[in-house]
Amino acid sequence: MFFTQLLHTGQVALCAYGAYVSYIAIRDLQQYEETSKKAAKYSTTAEHQLHKTRTTQSSGAICILASMMAATTLSLAPNSLPSIVKFGLSPAALVLTLFVRAHVSNFWKAKAKIPFIDGYNEAISKTGELLQVLEWLEYTWAGTALASGLVGY
């Protein structure tokens, strides 16, 4: 029983790191926000790229925060939750993380670093790290779903 809660505590730490990485990526991309808005006025492609940049970064951050809230609740007070919520939260978080990682990856995997634009390049690197964190969260949510089913809370 304690084992599953310990796994969730590890997830909280992983989410904290993911939140930090996501914050850096968003901060670095905001340096180019005004330039991107100006370009979006004249180009539908630039407008689409700006929209996708915002939605992918936001969805990654929201997924990390939702995972952190779920893992914190499951590590500190699992017995205060109804059984269906307690045992359904890990699979639900797994599905959410799978979809978000695919969404972020589909947009960012084709992005190349641009010489002399350090902030943008750093944002691409941090987004790659965010994708790694989301992948690890997938593994941990699958593990905690299995552990909660086999061992319980």
Q: Tell the CATH topology of 2-150.
A: Ferritin (1.20.1260)
84-88, 89-93, 101-105, 110-114: which has the minimum mean pLDDT?
110-114
Residue-wise pLDDT tens digits, 49-88: 888 989 999 999 999 999 999 999 999 999 999 999 999 9
Domain boundary assignment for the chain: 2-150
Q: How far is CA 93 from CA 62, 76, 116, 123, 142, in A?
A: 12, 17, 38, 25, 9
pTM above the 0.95 mark? no
